[in-house]
Amino acid sequence: MGKIIAIAIPKGGVGKTTTAVNLAASFAVYEKRTLLVDGDPFGACSMSLGFTQERQTSGLYEVFNFMHSMSQAIQRTEIPFLDFVPCNVRSTQMEERLLRLAENRTMMKNVLRQVVPHYDYIIVDTPPFLRGITTNAMTCADSVLVPVKSGHFSLEGIEKLFKYFEWIHEAANPTLQVEGILQTMYEPHLKVTEITDRELQLRFRKYLLKTSIPKNTHLTESSFYGKPSVLFNATSRGTLAYLELARELIERHLALTEPQILPLAHQQSA
Ligand code: ATP
Ligand code: MG
């Protein structure tokens, strides 16, 4: 059964989409069957994967409107183990309609149900606010991955997200977990980084992931050219950091699902 990871925080420009695209591509490089779902009407995942509007024949919009099934909306990508569902919103009217449909918070859960068994990982990118599609993503997800960029306002975003997380946990998804807090655009030796590091250690230590993503211009360039970073520059620091993040998460998930080895005494008496 695929693990659904929502990438969310109510703060713009912190690396949600960059993380969604490059983490999904990295899982695929490790030959994990991965589906990336663009839950942001802005459509930045499509641009980062080179899906121009002409190439998008279907997407979340059509699925939420019962025009297409989820399987019809799934597109193949240049990476063999990576599939993609664009948001496919092309006007403000369409965006308003999608957000209205997303007021039903179980919409995404219902439409993903039929495809979850075909994947190891489903990554959902979300917009920088909590209502609508983000609520949908958190309602169907197994976990939430929280990207933060150094600076005070990102930390406020975490507080807001965690309060919302508690509400979702109680009202809609009691098995939802925090996958971890991921530091993005990390620049050591800056004063603001030092302050953010200290605050994160103090307030959110148990959620901090080991991997952090350095500030790296190749990540911006690759999305500009419509490629996941691993296809643009396979050895850049940004690419390697996202591969490392995927490895950290895969290892953790394997450790949680591996059968426990019984102690020898127990085996003998069985
Ligand atoms: P929004 O909330 O507006 O959707 P977002 O949280 O999805 O934003 P991104 O679009 O991923 O953020 O990133 C914002 C900008 O920062 C983009 O131009 C992106 O290319 C750049 N960026 C993201 N991560 C890095 C990084 N590690 N190093 C350098 N630039 C980065
Ligand atoms: Mg985004």
Comparing CA positions, the residue from 8, 42, 20 lying closest to residue 157 is 8
Cα 59 to Cα 89: distance, rounded to the nearest angstrom: 8
pLDDT band at residue 262 using 50, 70 and 90 as cut-offs: low
Report the pLDDT averaged over residues 165-181. Answer: 96
Task: Sketch out the chain's domains with CATH numbers.
Answer: 3-251 (3.40.50.300)
Ligand 1 in reach of 238 Cβ (< 6 A): yes
pLDDT band at residue 256 using 50, 70 and 90 as cut-offs: confident
* Other Cβ atoms within 10 Å of 224 Cβ, number: 11
The alpha carbon torsion through 49, 119, 22, 38 (nearest 10 deg) reads: 50
Taking only the tens place, the pLDDT of each residue in 71-130 is 999 999 999 999 999 999 999 999 999 999 999 999 999 999 999 999 999 999 999 999
CA-to-CA dists, residue 121 to 24, 28, 46, 110, 173, angstroms: 8, 9, 18, 17, 18
Task: Give the position, in ligand 1's atom list, of the atom nearest the Cα of 220.
Answer: 20
pLDDT band at residue 54 using 50, 70 and 90 as cut-offs: confident
Ligand 1 in reach of 185 Cβ (< 6 A): yes
Phi, then psi, of 109 in degrees rounded to 5: -60, -45
Residue 39 CA to ligand 2 center (angstroms) comes to 9
| Whether 153 contacts 192, CB under 8 Å | no
Is the pLDDT reported for residue 218 higher than 90?
yes
